[in-house]
């Protein structure tokens, strides 16, 4: 009887060890599968379409998507268009600011009613609000455009510093959108900077955008100094969505091939592992 009980206990111990090893093996396999799935998801990028410069990280990039579609065009152009037309017609800063503010709020309300994303509308409302407040407080319609000058100057400085540091700002943006990291930042940085064709493409596109922001200031600041709100507003509209659409398309042409090759190489390396 004692011998039988000893054998039974030994059998249970062996079964327990087997189950433990099996469980550990299953946990390891699940962890590896989760890691591979996470890496694959990062390589593919978000399924949600992005707009603006972040759209350069989209696998299915389109210019229309980059500028936010037809609605994005209307919401970007309409406030500035209404402002310049109203002021040219009325020469009244208060009326111009009031109507433009009501229009910006209506755009936000329309999105809320239609249950659409309000993030872009809120950002646009904030930007327009700052411009309108600046013009209203100064009683000078020209100052509606001053915040835009500051934003362009800011990006000239930031992107120029990134070029000097040899860490192109456009590369940081696109790679961060494609593969955001919270740790191992140095490895993440080296991953795409060591890909020379991709790095050169990011350097070129960053230089391109520095040129765009500089051109805006070079053309629009003289119109501001001359006091011509009509010309300044027209130039701002032309150098807004239309210029952005052209330059973001050129940027995509520059980075598309090296970015595709980089993603393909990363995917191949992941498959081999």
User: How does pLDDT run across 8-17, given as a tens digit for each residue?
Assistant: 454 454 554 4
Nearest to 240 by CA among 224, 263, 219, 216: 216
Cβ neighbours around 209 below 10 Å, total: 20
Over the stretch 100-155, which tens digit does the pLDDT of each residue have? 999 888 888 887 787 766 676 677 778 888 999 999 999 999 999 999 999 999 99
Please state, in angstroms and rounded to a whole number, the distance separating the CA atoms of residues 206 and 240: 18
Buried b (16+ CB within 10 A) or exposed e, 168-201: bbbbbbbbebbbeeeeeeeebeebbbebeebbeb
Q: Rounded CA gap, 95 and 99, in Å?
A: 6
| pLDDT (average), residues 76-86 | 91
Query: Hey, how many other C-beta atoms are within 10 angstroms of the C-beta on 156?
Result: 18
């Amino acid at each position: 009887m004692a011998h039988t009980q000893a054998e039974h206990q030994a059998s249970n111990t062996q079964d327990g060890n087997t189950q433990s090893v099996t469980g550990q093996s299953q946990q390891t396999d699940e962890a590896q599968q989760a890691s591979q799935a996470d890496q694959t998801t990062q390589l593919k990028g978000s399924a949600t379409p992005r707009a603006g410069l972040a759209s350069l990280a989209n696998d299915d990039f389109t210019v229309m998507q980059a500028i936010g579609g037809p609605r994005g065009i209307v919401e970007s152009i309409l406030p500035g268009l209404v402002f310049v037309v109203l002021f040219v017609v009325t020469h009244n800063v208060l009326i111009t600011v009031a109507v433009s503010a009501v229009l910006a709020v209506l755009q936000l309300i329309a999105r809320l009613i239609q249950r659409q994303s309000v993030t872009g509308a809120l950002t646009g409302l904030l930007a327009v609000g700052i411009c309108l407040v600046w013009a209203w407080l100064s009683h000078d319609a020209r100052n509606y455009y001053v915040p835009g000058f500051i934003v362009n100057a800011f990006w000239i400085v930031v992107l120029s510093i990134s070029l000097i540091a040899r860490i192109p700002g456009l590369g940081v943006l696109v790679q961060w959108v494609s593969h955001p990291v919270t740790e191992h930042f140095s490895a993440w940085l080296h991953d795409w900077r060591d890909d020379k064709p991709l790095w050169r493409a990011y350097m070129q596109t960053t230089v391109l955008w520095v040129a765009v922001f500089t051109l805006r200031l070079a053309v629009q600041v003289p119109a501001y100094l001359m006091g011509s709100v009509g010309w300044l507003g027209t130039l701002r509209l032309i150098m807004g969505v239309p210029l952005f659409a052209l330059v973001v398309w050129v940027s995509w042409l520059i980075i598309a091939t090296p970015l595709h090759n980089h993603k393909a190489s990363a995917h191949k390396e992941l498959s081999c592992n």
